[in-house]
Amino acid sequence: MKSKNQVVFTLVLKSAIVFSPLLLSAGSTSGQITPSVSREITTAQITSNQEREELARLRAEKRLREQEQLGFDRAFSRTTILLNVWLVILSLFPVAIVALFWLLRRVAIREIVERAMAQLQGLENLQNQLAIVKQEAENTIQEAKNINRQLEKEADILQKNLTRQQEDVSNLKLEILQAKDNILAGLETDIKRVQGNIEQLESDFIAQLSELQLDNQRKKDSTIGNLAKLESDLNYQISQLQLDAQQQKNTILENIEKSRDEFIALVANLQSDTQQRKDNILESLINVRAELTSQLSELGLDAQQQKDVALTNLKEQMAALQSETQVKSEQILESLTQLQSEFAARLSELQIDAQQQKNIALESLKNQISGLESDTQLQKEKILDSITQLQSEFAARLSELQVDAQNRKDLIVENLEQSGSEFISQFSQLQSSAQEQKLLILEKLEKIETEVVSQLSELQLDAQERKDTILQELVEMKSESITKEEQIQQPQSQPELLADDYVKQGDILFSAKQYKKAIAAYNQAVKIQPDEPVIWLKTGLTLGRLKRYQDAIACYDKAIAIQPDYHQAWCDRGVAFGNLRQHQEAFTSFDKATQIKPDDAVAWLNRGLSLIELEKYEEAIASFEKSLQYQPNSPKAWDKRGYTLVRLGRDNEAIASFGKALEIKPDYASAYYNRAVCYALQRELQLALESLQQAIQINPRYKEEAATDIDFDDIADDESFKQLIGK
């Protein structure tokens, strides 16, 4: 029995050695192994398996870019199956003649088992290749997500910068109002002082005149010389009175001229600050454009480099495989002469089929690569065109604003000169027309304030629109890629949207700063569900972002009508009235909000701010103390409390409040400035200068504000103060 097995093994071994090179070259992509019955054949097949696994791994790495190998692999796998079948038949045919049928049955069973194991091994290799491809795809997606996160971070930084600028503008508006109140108070004080001086002069003159008349009556019979002396004394006193009146007139004129110069300087400072903010916004947009361009170029360069490296590796591997195949084919060519006639026709058909599939795969791959390159180029050109267009529009808008600002400046100067001339011409009738002049100055100051506020609002709106445009383009790019992927994976029709869907859509658009589209979505939700107060509230918030405060108030009123105890609606309603400078209505809204939710520190703070505008300082202090009761670490509440105490003349308590605000936030410039004002009113020169210097170091704009603030008049003549503010 052993001798028979040895004979069979010898025949099988010889047949396998003859046909194994053909099997190795033809089955390199299928992962199948020729049946083996000896350790030597197993060793040769293991080596062949390692080569096939290496080639399969390399092809898996290029599978996403070069699909041409797929058809080639399929054709050769079919060829391998056919060759294996024929080789098994040919190798077992002489064995069947010599060996017994039961040995042939055992060999056949063993061959089937080995083939099954080889196929399982091939499946495992395919699974490994799929895992590698999946990992590469996940890495690519992760890189895209990282780029999106970087863009989102840059957008957040730009949003924070714009928010900070908006806060600066609001603070500037408050400071302008404060300066206006101080100027008006100073003018009113000067007018009252002049009126008092004139009345005092009149009373003195009347008293002296009556006294002279009495003396004249008593000394009526005295000599003519005494009478002449009395007349000369009277003339001298009248001339002195006229001289005093003229001096008072000149002093008032100088004060008015000085106030006009200070106001012109304040307007110039506001214009320079506005110009600087516009330049900063333009610079940030240019930086965003440069970063996007560099990122796109880096992505293109990286993709090209990966493509070149992969092509180089593939060419080298193909050359090595071709040379190896050529050598092996030459070695077995002699042994395959008899089979050439039988397989020639079949091989030619398989080659034609493989070539066709290869051409189809190459064409598909080329189309995909060209499509990806065209999409990338289009997106890049779209972004560059958009940034260029934004830059040109912003430059044109900037030039228009500069021309408009210059025209308004000339108009303001002309109005001030006209007011000064009218005031000088009517000064002789000061006592009768002082009130009319005061009303005229108030009207012009309000007009100037309105113009400045409108300019700042236009700048804010323009910057916000530019930012919204950039963010919208970024979101659209991201949404387009996501939409394409979803359409490929699972195309399906969109169902009819419900109210909640419109609300969610509006929330997404609101987060992306697309306020007009968000309003349209909320309006659709309101049509479906008009009795939902939350939808009305969100609509009002979005309208407020577009500066449409009246429409926003109408939405808040709708929400309150549906739910009268809606705390947030009352708060936002008060904010809208505050932006419209309707402070009494704002106070009413905030007061209602505090009644509904007494522990809301922000509502108490806003209530106190509205009371400051109404000059109800005692009630404002009570509101700030309520706010601090629920939020004791609010530096703004402590600062506003101190400011209100200064207005009431309670300087020591005010200084303590400012100290508390600075203890919570050491870099709070407003608290330093208000503390400097308090010390200046107390004529504490050194302390005032120290606080003012710290405020200027944190925020340099306080230097210009201090130069025009009348609260520093008591220390304005000091050289240290002049050096600090740069006079």
The dihedrals phi and psi of 698, each to the nearest 5 degrees, come to -75, -45
Q: Tokens 């009478």 correspond to what residue?
A: 227
Q: Which pairs from 126-135 meet CB under 8 Å and 24+ separation?
A: 126/31, 129/56, 129/57, 129/60, 129/63, 132/57, 132/60, 132/61, 133/60, 133/63, 133/64
pLDDT score of 277 = 61
Contact 474, 151 (CB under 8 A): yes
Mean pLDDT, all residues of the chain: 71
Distances 155 to 103, 165, 294, 466, 473 between C-alpha atoms, Å: 78, 15, 17, 12, 12
**pTM more than 0.75:** no
Provide the pLDDT confidence category of residue 369 given band limits of 50, 70 and 90: low
Window from 288-302, 352-366, 516-530, 608-622 with minimum mean pLDDT? 288-302
**What residue type is 592 in one-letter code?**
K
Query: What is the sign of the dihedral through the CA atoms of 195, 197, 203 and 206?
Result: negative
3-state helix, strand, coil in the chain (%, to 5): 90, 0, 10
Mean pLDDT of 500-516: 89
Window from 15-29, 45-59, 252-266 with minimum mean pLDDT? 15-29
Helices (H) and strands (E) in the chain, counts: 21, 0
Q: Which distant-in-sequence residues (6+ apart) come within 8 Å of 623 by Cβ? A: 604, 605, 607, 608, 611
Contact 82, 70 (CB under 8 A): no
Provide the pLDDT confidence category of residue 103 given band limits of 50, 70 and 90: confident
In angstroms, the first-to-last Cα distance of the chain is: 121
pLDDT score of 58 = 77
- CA-based nearest residue to 461, from 522, 548, 395: 548
Contact 724, 716 (CB under 8 A): no
pLDDT in tens, 513-544: 899 999 999 999 999 989 999 999 999 999 99
In this predicted model, which residue has the larger pLDDT, 274 or 50?
50
Residue 328, pLDDT > 70, answer no
The token pair at 218 is 């008593």
pLDDT score of 23 = 45
In this structure, which CATH number among 3.40.50.620, 1.25.40.10, 3.20.20.210, 2.60.40.3140 belongs to the domain 531-725?
1.25.40.10
In this predicted model, which residue has the larger pLDDT, 256 or 572?
572
Burial class (CB in 10 A: 0-12, 13-18, 19+), 556: buried
pLDDT in tens, 144-163: 777 777 777 777 787 777 77
pLDDT score of 22 = 47
pLDDT in tens, 441-488: 555 555 555 554 455 555 455 545 554 554 555 445 544 444 444 444
Identify the three-state secondary structure at position 41: helix
Query: What is the sign of the dihedral through the CA atoms of 315, 143, 145 and 295?
Result: negative
pLDDT score of 347 = 60
Residue 582, pLDDT > 70, answer yes
Residues in the chain: 727
pLDDT score of 554 = 94
Mean pLDDT of 368-396: 62
In this predicted model, which residue has the larger pLDDT, 465 or 716?
716
Eight-class DSSP state of 582: -
- CA-based nearest residue to 586, from 600, 607, 602: 607
Burial class (CB in 10 A: 0-12, 13-18, 19+), 399: exposed
Q: What percent of the chain lies above the pLDDT cut of 70? A: 47
